Amino acid sequence: MGNFGDFQTGIYANGMFAGQKPELSTGLTQLEERAAEVLSADALGYILPSAGSGATARANREAFDRWRIVPRMLRGAAERDLTTTVLGTTLPAPVALAPIGVQTLVHEEGELATARAAAAVGLPYVHSCAASHSPEQAAEAAAAAGDGPRWFQLYWPTDPDVCASFLSRARAAGYTALLVTLDTTTLGWRPADLDRGFLPFLRGEGIATFLTDPAFRAKLDRPPEEDLGAAVMRWASIFPNPGLSWDDLTFVRERWDGPIALKGILSPDDARLAADHGMDGVVVSNHGGRQVDGAVAALDALGPVAEAVGDRLDVLFDSGIRTGADAVKALALGAKAVLVGRPYLYGLALRGREGAEHVLRCLLAELDLTLHHSGYRSPSQLTPASLVRAPA
């Protein structure tokens, strides 16, 4: 519990009484442009653009613009409680960090800085299976910075021994919930990377979880420290996994005793199948528009999915969240929690851990204030009736 909006008061007080302004803008939509000024062309090409023509990423944002919040007055919303329990985890607010790979592309400390920022704020740090640091390293960094929760994201390798090993390592390192990303069994068509022939994994960046894995290492003739090229080739032979089907979920269900959510769900039918197959949640997501060009906007998919399975599963959401007000819209349309993606990466690019933390605190403050100004004391009071469609 806590009024995250107090962050706003602190900023005014620092400015007026101590002459200190925030180092980064509090307008989170401006950070993309700022980050673009400091990022290398390779990093920018990997992060910013989306699959194909970029239609899905644009649709993600346009979908938010088509909804408007209807603020209600005189409802005594001075005290708010944003606490939310999702995937077996009690969160101070319904927000988690989306799993993002290869974060050393934007800052030398990469995921370690992000894990510290998340822990300091108390939000779940979600370790990407494509991270530049191992899950154990990130867990250690997070634990030293605070006691925020940790979740693990799985890209399901074709080698079952490696897959099982990832799961047991993540559990041992204190990751309590599992997000299985289903939309990236191979990479989408990403012209910005293709035009430069750039894929960081092939130079050994973003595959730390594999390189440090005993089951992965056991099948190499020589350790990655001696022959990185061979290790990368082995990674490339087990990372794409286009043949996965619903029945395969038993494998992870049997090896993970905590909550499991499927990430990348956009259809109510798939959401029902997730529930039928013993899953605990879904993340409605189109991977920030990075996989299927022309896919449905994630926010447009959210309502129908929440309606289909909201009483059976925890429904989480990402793809397009840029501000606290965006989070309010997604919560109103049925998400129990939202994952914030690129914005914290921009904070990381600009100011490392402090930058990522700044983004999270701004987002939480704006979420809290938007709730307050709209007449709600907790996210659970939001419903689709909290919104109206914008006039065409």
Which residues are catalytic, by number?
287
Assess 101 for contact with ligand FNR (CB under 6 A). Answer: yes
Stretch that binds ligand FNR, among 14-22, 159-167, 272-280, 284-292 (CB under 6 A): 284-292
* C-alpha torsion angle, residues 183, 180, 113, 329 (rounded to 10): 70
Total residues contacting ligand FNR by CB under 6 A comes to: 21
When asked if residue 98 is in the footprint of ligand FNR (CB under 6 A), the reply is yes
- Long-range interactions of 224-229: CB distance < 8 A, separation 24+: 228/204
Shorter beta-carbon distance to ligand FNR: residue 176 or 185? 185
The smaller minimum CB distance to ligand FNR, of residues 3 and 209, is found at 209
Question: Which of 47, 93, 252, 295 touches ligand FNR by CB under 6 A?
Answer: 47
How many secondary structure helices (H) and strands (E) does the chain include? 16, 12
The residue among 3 and 323 lying less far from ligand FNR, judged by its C-beta, is 323
By three-state DSSP, how is residue 264 classified? strand
Q: How far is the CB of 45 from ligand FNR (least distance, A)?
A: 10
Among the listed ranges 24-32, 68-76, 286-294, 349-357, the one in contact with ligand FNR (CB under 6 A) is 286-294
| Cβ(155)–Cβ(183) below 8 Å | no
* Token output for 303: 């309502």
Tell me which residues in 257-276 interact with ligand FNR (CB under 6 A): 263
Q: Which one of 28, 86, 100, 282 is in contact with ligand FNR (CB under 6 A)?
A: 100
Alpha-carbon span 91 to 95, nearest angstrom: 8
Q: Mark the segment that binds ligand FNR (CB under 6 A) among 71-79, 99-107, 220-228, 270-278.
A: 99-107
- Residues 157, 62: Cα–Cα separation, whole Å: 34
> Is residue 321 at the binding interface for ligand FNR, with CB under 6 A as the rule?
yes
Q: How many other C-beta atoms lie within 10 A of the C-beta of residue 44? A: 18
- 284 is written with which tokens? 């409605």
Q: Does 133 bind ligand FNR (CB under 6 A)?
A: no
Using CB atoms within 10 A of its CB, is residue 88 exposed (0-12), middle (13-18) or buried (19+)? middle
> What does residue 63 show for φ and ψ, rounded to 5 degrees?
-65, -40
| Residues 332-351 contacting ligand FNR, CB under 6 A | 341-342
Q: What ranges in the chain are assigned the alpha helix state H?
A: 6-18, 31-38, 41-47, 55-65, 110-121, 135-145, 160-172, 191-196, 208-211, 214-218, 228-238, 249-255, 268-276, 298-309, 324-332, 342-374
The least distance separating ligand FNR from the CB of residue 360, rounded to whole angstroms, comes to 13
**Closest CB 392 distance from ligand FNR, rounded Å:** 25
Residue type, 167: L
What 3-state class would DSSP assign to 337? strand
Q: Please report whether residue 138 would count as binding ligand FNR according to CB under 6 A.
A: no
**Cβ of residue 349: shortest distance to ligand FNR, in angstroms?**
11
Amino acid at 222: R
Options 3, 134, 153, 374; binder of ligand FNR; rule CB under 6 A:
153
CB of 226 to ligand FNR, least distance (A): 27
Q: 337 and 98 in contact (C-beta within 8 Å)?
A: no
Give the residue with the Cβ less far from ligand FNR, 80 or 282.
282
128 versus 386: smaller Cβ distance to ligand FNR: 128
Taking the least distance from each CB to ligand FNR, the nearer of 106 and 376 is 106
Q: Considering the rule CB under 6 A, would residue 281 count as an interface residue with ligand FNR? A: no
Binding site for ligand FNR (CB under 6 A): 46-47, 98-101, 128, 130, 153, 181, 263, 285, 287-288, 290, 318-321, 341-342
